[in-house]
Amino acid sequence: MKIAYDGQLLTTDISVCYQGRTLQIKDIIIDTGSSRTVFSPDVLEEIGVTYENGDPVYEAYGVGGTVPFYTKVMDQIEIDALRIENVEIDVGILPKSHKGLLGLDILKTYGFTVDMEKLELRRPSATTSPT
């Protein structure tokens, strides 16, 4: 699938579904430096994702310091033709106006390759099982 490069960041579009409500999200950052996939709470609020008692909470560490995140299980995430069901993601405040980060938990597990020359995000096969 084609990805965008704005001179600073690589982005793609994905779809997330939570409790039967689906949201198309544009410009999700492809972040090979992030171990986990993270979405901004402002973006997911539209489909009813909010913090609830019992949601796992932890602090993420990065260049900018630490930030609290909570974990949710999405019904599914679609990235191009790949549909991942019952996928755990993190929800937390991201820098600037970032909507989300597609992290290594999905990129590596499902065998994605980032082709910088062609600006494509590819998988070796069309199956939905991890490699």
- 57-112 pLDDT per residue, tens: 998 776 667 888 999 999 999 999 899 999 999 999 888 789 999 999 999 999 99
pLDDT of residue 127: 45
pLDDT of residue 130: 53
CB 32 within 8 A of CB 114: yes
- Structure tokens that stand for 81 in this block: 């033709």
Length of the chain: 131
The DSSP output letter for 2 is: B
Residue 128, domain member (yes or no): no
Region 110-117: mean pLDDT is 95
CB 112 within 8 A of CB 131: no
Residue 129, domain member (yes or no): no
Q: Could you give phi then psi for residue 124, rounded to 5 degrees?
A: -70, -25
CA–CA distances in Å: residue 130 to residues 32, 33, 101: 17, 20, 19
Residue 36, domain member (yes or no): yes
pTM for the model: 0.89
Q: Which residues constitute the domain of residue 14?
A: 4-122
Distance CA 45, CA 51 (A): 10
In total, how many domains does the chain have?
1
3-class DSSP state of 104: helix
Residue 68, domain member (yes or no): yes
Residue 130, domain member (yes or no): no
Output the domain CATH number for residue 51: 2.40.70.10
End-to-end CA distance of the chain: 18
Percent of the chain surpassing pLDDT 70: 92
Distance CA 63, CA 121 (A): 25
Percent of the chain surpassing pLDDT 90: 78
